[in-house]
């Protein structure tokens, strides 16, 4: 159980690194923020790539499972950073994605 919680935490940190790495350039391009934000964006995306290597499963399985967590974290970002209220569709979609992630992660080991 502790290993599963550790893996979940790693997925969440990985998703945050990716979102920050993409959000900062978005601020530069869409809101005319300083180009200096591209430096921490690049560092964040580098951290994201490194964090993906920390997951114990094969790369393809890691990416597939990560997708469910990414969706949920992105919606939390939407709510608390962008200030957009989530709909039932958002929450339902995140639940379906997390269920898919749980099936992938919890499969019997061979």
**What digits encode the pLDDT tens for the residues 47-93?**
999 998 888 777 788 888 889 999 999 999 999 999 999 999 999 99
Q: What is the pTM of this model?
A: 0.86
Between CA 67 and CA 14 the distance in angstroms is: 11
| CA separation for the pair 4, 15 (Å, rounded) | 16
């Amino acid at each position: 159980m502790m290993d599963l919680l550790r893996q979940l935490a790693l997925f969440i940190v990985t998703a945050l690194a990716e979102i920050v790495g993409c959000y900062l350039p978005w601020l530069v391009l869409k809101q005319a923020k300083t180009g200096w934000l591209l430096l921490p964006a690049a560092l964040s995306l580098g951290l994201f790539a490194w964090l993906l290597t920390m997951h114990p499963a094969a790369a393809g399985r890691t990416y597939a499972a990560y997708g469910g967590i990414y969706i949920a974290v992105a919606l939390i970002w939407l709510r608390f950073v962008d200030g957009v209220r989530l709909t039932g569709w958002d929450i339902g979609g995140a639940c379906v994605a997390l269920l898919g992630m749980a099936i992938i992660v919890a499969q019997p080991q061979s």
